[in-house]
């Protein structure tokens, strides 16, 4: 008993007489059928985008230590993963390569190689599993020797020169068969430039899913392990990714990307930015996706592995929260696990 809260006897009876019990919200929660009946938001397999990490080699699956249950897959293994994803009815995959360090340079030129890891994976998956959506990232960080998303001149990530390379990278991925280009770099003006570049080469049906509001977040740590940029990244990304303290700025970023031709939007990270998802969806009503990033996944998994929380429930609760906030879907490393769970429940 907490002594601070203990009511005095006369106060306690006064409270009881003041209760207005015409409304008892608990009635609608009394049984599972009633809770199901009044449930406002439902997570389905249609809401899931599965981010996959790619590695060189054959038959390779290497554990990402900071993301228990997540592996980097060689192209042949990624094809198997795509087959499984399609069987689970996951609509789309987002591909991220861990580029051989020998192929990284200051300009990220490997991004333009038609035979780079991501392009090979796109072609191989499209051959075997043509019905699954493939989302290719536009950003240079998996390819640069300094781990930044753009081209570095001295201390500066230069904007316009980077955008020109992002257009070429997008075309390279579209030619390999990517269905969607997802620029995650946060350079100014890149959506218009990429749209124009795609249209000029006859890719007017390739969608652009913009990471429109992407914050300079500490929650990307494990992802940088996964694609091998953590050790090399010089400094931070605060001159291009957004300040976590800002909200109106996210609306301005989104407005610009819509003007420039974005078909879909991503807000990233996810759970610490539910307010942004809500504002973006209410203001613009475009398909809006949350990215439940690597650090969010790692937190849930680490706590679950320690027995500190029920991992499965935390996974489901975190995902339905995105739906409640207004997201149309979620990029999540939990995608296959959730899809299996939802399938069992059917
Ligand atoms: C970079 C990129 C990042 C993520 C996706 N694309 C990290 C970063 O900006 O450094 C993070 C995803 C995650 O943490 O799961 N283009």
- Dist CA 28 CA 40 (whole Å): 13
Say what the pLDDT of residue 10 is: 59
Query: 3 in a domain, yes or no?
Result: no
CATH of residue 148: 3.20.20.70
Residue 298 located in a structural domain: yes
Between CA 69 and CA 334 the distance in angstroms is 9
- Residue 5 covered by a domain: no
Question: Any idea what DSSP says for residue 144?
Answer: B
Query: What does the CA dihedral 150, 153, 156, 162 come to, rounded to 10 degrees?
Result: -30
Omega of the bond leading into 89 within 30 degrees of 0 (cis): no
Q: Answer yes or no: is 114 within a domain.
A: yes
Residue nearest to atom 6 of ligand 1 (CA): 184
Domain assignment present for 226: yes
**Pocket perturbation via mutation, ligand 1, pick of 141, 169, 181 by most ligand atoms within 8 A of CB:** 141
Known catalytic residues?
Answer: 214, 268
In-domain check, residue 17: no
Note whether residue 31 is domain-resident.
no
- Report CA(339)–ligand 1 centroid distance (Å): 23
Residue 139 structure tokens: 């950003």
Please report, in tens digits, the pLDDT of each residue of the chain (346 residues total): 455 666 565 555 555 567 878 899 999 999 999 999 999 999 999 999 999 999 999 999 999 999 999 999 999 999 999 999 999 999 999 999 999 999 999 999 999 999 999 999 999 999 999 999 999 999 999 999 999 999 999 999 999 999 999 999 999 999 999 999 999 999 999 999 999 999 999 999 999 999 999 999 999 999 999 999 998 998 999 999 999 999 999 999 999 999 999 999 999 999 999 999 999 999 999 999 999 999 999 999 999 999 999 999 999 999 999 999 999 999 999 999 999 999 998 7
Number of compact structural domains in the chain: 1
List the beta bridge partners of residue 53: 72, 96
The predicted structure's pLDDT at residue 231: 87
Model-level pTM?
Answer: 0.94
Give residue 68's domain range.
42-345
pLDDT number for residue 20: 79
Residues in CB range of 1: below 8 A, 6 or more apart: none
The answer as to whether 34 is a domain residue is no
Tell me the C-alpha distance between 187 and 190, whole Å: 6
Q: Which residues line ligand 1 (CB under 6 A)?
A: 137, 139, 141, 149, 184-185, 220, 223-224, 237, 293-294
**333 CA from centroid of ligand 1 (Å):** 13
């Amino acid at each position: 008993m907490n002594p601070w809260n203990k009511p005095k006897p006369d106060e306690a009876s006064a409270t009881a007489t003041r209760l207005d019990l015409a409304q008892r919200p608990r009635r609608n929660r009394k049984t599972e059928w009633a809770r199901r009946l009044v449930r406002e938001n439902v997570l389905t397999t249609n809401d899931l985008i599965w981010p996959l990490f790619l590695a060189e080699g054959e038959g390779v699956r290497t554990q990402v230590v900071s993301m228990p249950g997540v592996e980097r897959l060689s192209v042949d293994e990624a094809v198997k993963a795509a087959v499984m994803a399609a069987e689970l009815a996951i609509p789309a995959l987002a591909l991220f390569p861990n580029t051989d360090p020998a192929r990284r340079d200051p300009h990220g030129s490997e991004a333009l190689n038609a035979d780079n890891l991501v392009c090979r994976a796109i072609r191989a998956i499209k051959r075997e599993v043509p019905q699954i959506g493939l989302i290719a990232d536009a950003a240079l960080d998996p390819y640069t020797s300094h781990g930044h998303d753009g081209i570095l001149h001295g201390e500066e990530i230069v904007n316009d020169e980077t955008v020109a390379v992002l257009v070429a990278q997008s075309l390279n991925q579209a030619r390999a068969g990517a269905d969607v280009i997802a620029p995650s770099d946060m350079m100014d003006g890149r959506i218009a430039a990429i749209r124009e570049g795609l249209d000029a080469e006859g890719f007017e049906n390739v969608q652009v899913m913009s990471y429109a509001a992407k914050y300079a977040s500490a929650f990307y740590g494990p992802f940088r392990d996964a694609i091998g940029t953590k050790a090399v990244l010089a400094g931070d990304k605060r001159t291009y990714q957004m300040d976590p303290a800002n909200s109106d700025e996210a609306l301005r970023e989104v407005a610009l990307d819509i003007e420039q031709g974005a078909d879909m939007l991503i807000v990233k990270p996810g759970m610490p930015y539910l307010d942004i998802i809500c504002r973006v969806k209410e203001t613009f009503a475009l398909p809006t996706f949350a990215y439940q990033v690597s650090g969010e996944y790692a937190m849930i998994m680490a706590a679950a592995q320690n027995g500190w929380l029920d991992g499965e429930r935390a996974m489901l609760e975190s995902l339905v929260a995105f739906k409640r906030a207004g997201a149309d879907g979620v990029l999540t490393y939990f995608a296959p696990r959730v899809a299996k769970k939802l399938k069992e429940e059917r």
